Amino acid sequence: MVESGDAPDRALTWTALLAQWTDFAQKAVALPRTGEGRRWRRAVAPIITLSAVTHALEDLDRIPGEERPLALDRAEILCRDAARSLHEIWRGEDLPEQIGELIEDSRVAFERAANAGLEWVVAEGRLRGRDPSALVERLRRSGFVGDLFVPVTGVELFAGAPCAFARAPGGAPPDPDVCAQIASFLDPCGKVKEPRRVVTPRQVYRQVDFATGRIERDLVAPLGGDLPAGQPLLALAIEGGQAVRLPPPRRSEPIEDEIPVVELGEAEPRGPENGQ
């Protein structure tokens, strides 16, 4: 079972979803009364488009997964054209702050929708990464054409750490059979939490005190941002349905003490002992 919000309305299409939010934006948009009235009047249409697409992207899980890639393509075109129109209206001048924020909001909404997927987290104890070759082959034979991250073979992950991430094309959730195979591979004993929907894959970085050689913590951070210090513990195994060359297995001494798991920006470790 996937942790998520309301179940998607499988009859809804991207066109219908966008129409809902366009109607909302038309009613909600409020333009400032300034000396730039002519520019703002020209900006009404692209402002409504950006507002509607931004909200529709945040609601994209309501449409069938197979329609998601096409919806993203259409959203990207609409946002690009609307942003171009707004830059043209204010050509040679700085964009008003509200317009710049609207364009940035649409960009962030698109990236979140495109990068979304399902994340598995270690629920208790520790999980040792196993060779994923058989899982990769099974998923490829079954027609999985998305992306998959799994633990590097031989590493130990601790409670609260992400241990896998998977997504179908366009950031859609993988099929239930794919999810079941991933969960079975990760831990047949059931020590992994039910997958949850996340807006971007996260990596686990093992950080070591080089003066003493002692492991300090496992830092969890989103992929795509600034690269934290540390050794990454998750590896990309499938990309776009194609197997990826995996890093060699880690052959290290067993870790006696539990390693604290900390999310980027948090001061305290995450784990069963503090309610996570």
118-174 pLDDT, tens digit per residue, is: 999 999 888 999 999 999 999 999 999 999 999 999 999 999 999 999 999 999 999
pTM above 0.75, yes or no: yes
Distance separating alpha carbons of residues 161 and 21, to the nearest angstrom: 36
What does the pLDDT read at residue 272?
45
Question: Which amino acid, 74?
Answer: R
Distance separating alpha carbons of residues 160 and 143, to the nearest angstrom: 31
Distance separating alpha carbons of residues 203 and 271, to the nearest angstrom: 17
Listing from the earlier edge strand, what are the strands of the sheet with 202-209?
231-232, 202-209, 214-222, 261-263
* Beta strand 162-167 pairing with 117-121: antiparallel
Contact by Cβ (8 Å): 2, 166: no
Distance separating alpha carbons of residues 262 and 119, to the nearest angstrom: 16
What does the pLDDT read at residue 190?
67
Q: Which helix (H) or strand (E) holds 167?
A: strand 162-167
What does the pLDDT read at residue 226?
78
Q: How confident is the model at residue 39 (pLDDT cuts 50, 70, 90)?
A: confident
Inform me whether the pLDDT recorded for 1 exceeds 50.
Answer: no
Mean per-residue pLDDT, 34-51: 79
